[in-house]
Amino acid sequence: MLQIGLDAGGTSTRATVVTTDGECVGYARSSGGNPISSGKIGASSAILDAIESALTRANATLSDVSVIVAAMAGGSADDSRDWLIEPLADRDFTGTVAWESDLLATYFSGTFSSFGYAIVSGTGAAVIRVEDGQIARTSDGLGWLLGDAGSGFWIGHNVALAVMSDIDGRGPSTALTPRLLEALGISTEGARVQGRSPALPRLITALYDMRPVQLAQFAPLAFSEPEDAVSRGILESAGSLLAHSVEAVHTENGPLVIGGSVLAQTGRLAETFAARLAAQGIEPAIVRVADGAVGSAVLALREAGVDITASVFRRVTDSVARMR
Amino acid sequence: MLQIGLDAGGTSTRATVVTTDGECVGYARSSGGNPISSGKIGASSAILDAIESALTRANATLSDVSVIVAAMAGGSADDSRDWLIEPLADRDFTGTVAWESDLLATYFSGTFSSFGYAIVSGTGAAVIRVEDGQIARTSDGLGWLLGDAGSGFWIGHNVALAVMSDIDGRGPSTALTPRLLEALGISTEGARVQGRSPALPRLITALYDMRPVQLAQFAPLAFSEPEDAVSRGILESAGSLLAHSVEAVHTENGPLVIGGSVLAQTGRLAETFAARLAAQGIEPAIVRVADGAVGSAVLALREAGVDITASVFRRVTDSVARMR
């Protein structure tokens, strides 16, 4: 029989088909598969697309599949999962469908250790401690309004705040200001209004027209101006906040799996992150992963009763890499 | 002829009818008159209600009125003002309608000096420097997402952040946590989920169900726990941020008019605000005002060509106080 791991994110979904030996025989990507960001219909359509394409590559059908594990963010046990279970049943799938955290899929993309840590900082940010292969503690992951400290949203929001303070005269001048105005196509021409740059009301309109979480798109501006004092301050603060989230769940030594675009960048943020952890005596073996594809397959194998040994884990990792 | 000053806020509107001598002969309150928060229909209905009630008290009609000045937040010169001008024309009003900043109405509620400062910290926060009776500089007032540093929103948001950090284990324990949970009717009973308090997902759901600006409702929790270290830190930071916004526009000495609920409270916030300003050599004569009613009437008189002398200003202030 085959197992399918689904790594269903806000912008893309990965379906990974593995044999019980851990050999990846099918892999496909589709669009966003998280029902919170894509809606239930959009998410189920994306997930079914990915499953179908991956099974086609594997020369298999759903009747060959015993277990599907869907790894995704934000699902609580109370939410109905019929949006995915029903269309699978309509396709005569009679196996098991199980849900797992996307953070755990990230973790098992980097290690098969039953104890360790994972941190993901993309648009949002969260850290987990894994014990006995399960999430024992979570830190942050609370969303843009209440947390996600050091995330892409956090950095982009702080870029916007720094630019507003610069233009407003409450904060220091920063190279981020012309960068943000350029990114939004905002001109500084025109007369000052009540002592303020004419760019200010344009910037206010442009930024409030976005959904707040879209401010994450300005995070790259901070990374592109590492010599600017304001930008450097934002990057260092983000690195510190991410390290702090790790410290909050850290007990004993274990591998640290790192996912998401923010900590994938080298420079001040990553350096501050590592230095702050080291100052707390935390110097883990670090494994960087691109996504949760391998981990979702590992979770599907585990759900099917397969013992995840070093050789199984290695086979999944190597064969997924070949299929991408 | 009579003049009407309108102080149109998000939650209430005040119409003040004054003679050319500055004698208040009519005054009335109604509901929110800002088109951004109440919609154009709601705002025009509230404003017309207030005008009608105030004129009834004055035994007058719109035909006795030469000037109406509407003081409100957030209106840009580009926005159509037909939502108020047309219904006034429908009621045969043939005088002048002029728009002013609500911050300037706050300023002129406290002083008739042609030079000085006003700070308002309610749900939002902003500072102005007034020169020759006009706004020469503004600081902050950029809304909950991009500014309003030290405002009621800022305090309430920081209360929520501190509680999330406490429950999440990233921040210190704080007395604000049981207060916020109680305010939202959230129980801490039940099993821990992935190492987290069962209150956490309930709190996340409750807070994301609000419009962000509604977090301002939790600002009073910070004021009610002045001995708690976390709460005290929030109040002191808010006081510092408000002082910083004053410093950003400060040139020479002038009176400082203070409006809004945040700086109306005595305690750590107000003390930090005053101490930080004093440390910068800024120790202005402070005038506290409840709203912009007097100032909107002063602006209406000025629009009608009346010279605002000390005795006119005194007459407006005293007669408005009697009419409330």
Query: Over the stretch A238-269, which tens digit does the pLDDT of each residue have?
Result: 999 999 999 999 999 999 999 999 999 999 99
Mean pLDDT of chain B: 94
Residue in this structure with the two tokens 């202005």, named with its chain if needed: B284
**B208: closest chain A residue by CA:** A145
Tokens of B182: 């109680």
A247 vs chain B: nearest CA distance in angstroms?
A: 8
Beta strand extents in chain A (DSSP E only) = 2-8, 12-19, 24-31, 65-72, 96-101, 116-121, 125-131, 134-140, 256-259, 286-288
pLDDT tens, B267-285?
999 999 999 999 999 999 9
Nearest CA in chain B to A241: B170
Superfamily (CATH) of domain B114-254: ATPase, nucleotide binding domain (3.30.420.40)
* pLDDT, average across residues B147-155: 96
Using DSSP bridges, classify how beta strands B96-101 and B65-72 pair: parallel, antiparallel or unpaired: parallel
Radius of gyration for chain A, computed over Cα atoms and rounded to the nearest angstrom: 22
Q: Which chain B residues have any C-beta within 8 angstroms of a chain A C-beta?
A: 76-77, 101, 128-129, 134-140, 142-143, 145-147, 149, 157, 160-161, 164-165, 168-170, 193-196, 201, 204, 207-208, 212, 244-245, 248-249
> Bridge-partner residues for A12, per DSSP?
A31
**What is the Cα Rg of chain B in Å?**
22
**Which of A100, A119, A168 to mutate to probe the B interface, most B CBs <10 Å?**
A168
B24-31 sheet: strands from edge to edge: B24-31, B12-19, B2-8, B65-72, B96-101
The answer to whether domain A2-110+291-323 and domain A114-254 are alike in fold is yes
* CATH fold for the domain made of A2-110+291-323: Nucleotidyltransferase; domain 5 (3.30.420)
| Spatial distance between the Cα atoms of B131 and B80, rounded to a whole number of angstroms | 28
Instruction: Quick: pLDDT tens for A29-70.
Output: 999 998 877 888 999 999 999 999 999 999 999 999 999 999
In sequence order, which residues have a C-beta less than 8 Å from that of residue B314 and are 6 or more positions away?
none
pLDDT band at A77 (very low <50, low <70, confident <90, very high): low
Measured between beta carbons, the chain A residues lying within 8 angstroms of B143 are 204, 208
Hunting for tokens 């000052």 — which residue is that?
Answer: A192
Amino acid at A288: R
* Separation in Å, CA of B7 to nearest CA in chain A: 20
Q: Are A122 and A261 in contact (CB under 8 A)?
A: yes
Q: Which residue ranges make up each domain of chain B?
A: 2-102+291-323, 114-254
The tokens of B324 are what?
């409330």
CA separation, residue A157 to residues A11, A30, A160, A161, B126 (Å): 20, 29, 5, 6, 20
Q: How far, in Å, CA of A177 to CA of A187, rounded?
A: 12
Look at residue B96 in the predicted model and tell me its pLDDT: 94
Query: What pLDDT does A75 receive?
Result: 57
Say if CB A17 and CB A3 are below 8 A apart.
yes
In three state form, how does the secondary structure of A35-66 look? HHHHHHHHHHHHHHHHHHHHHHHCCCCHHHEE
pLDDT band at B126 (very low <50, low <70, confident <90, very high): very high
What is the number of CB-based contacts under 8 A between chain A and chain B?
A: 102
pLDDT value of residue A10: 82
Q: How many CB atoms lie within 10 A of CB A281?
A: 9
Cβ atoms of B194 and A133 within 8 Å: the answer is no
Q: How confident is the model at residue A137 (pLDDT cuts 50, 70, 90)?
A: very high
A195 contacts B137? CB cut-off 8 A? yes
Q: Do B249 and A169 touch (CB under 8 A)?
A: yes
Pairwise CA distance, residues A297 & A300, whole Å: 5
Distance separating alpha carbons of residues A105 and A75, to the nearest angstrom: 14
Q: Where would I find the beta strands (DSSP E) of chain B?
A: 2-8, 12-19, 24-31, 65-72, 96-101, 116-121, 125-131, 134-140, 256-259, 286-288
- Cβ contacts of A168 on chain B, cutoff 8 Å: 138-140, 142, 147, 248
Q: Contact A76/B137, CB-based, under 8 Å?
A: no
Q: Is A309 helix (H, G, I), strand (E, B) or coil?
A: coil
The residues, ordered by sequence, that sit 6+ positions from B106 with a Cβ below 8 Å of its Cβ are B118, B120, B257, B259, B289, B291, B292, B295
What are the pLDDT digits (tens) for B218-227? 999 999 999 9
Closest residue of B to A141, CA-based?
B168
Please give, rounded to a whole number of angstroms, the shortest distance from the CA of B146 to a CA of chain A: 6
**Within its chain, how far is the Cα of A229 from the centroid?**
28
**Average pLDDT value for residue range A118-144:** 95
> Which of A146, A72, A77, A102 lies closest to B203, judged by CA?
A146
Provide the 10 A C-beta neighbour count for residue A299: 30
Contacts made by residues B193-200, CB under 8 angstroms, sequence distance 24+: B193/A77, B194/A101, B194/A128, B194/A135, B194/A136, B194/A137, B194/A138, B195/A129, B195/A135, B195/A136, B195/A137, B195/A138, B195/A249, B196/A137, B196/A138, B196/B167, B196/B168, B197/B167, B199/B167, B200/B164, B200/B167, B200/B168
Q: What dotted CATH number matches B2-102+291-323?
A: 3.30.420.40
Pair type for strands B24-31 and B65-72? unpaired
Six token digits for residue B151:
């405002």
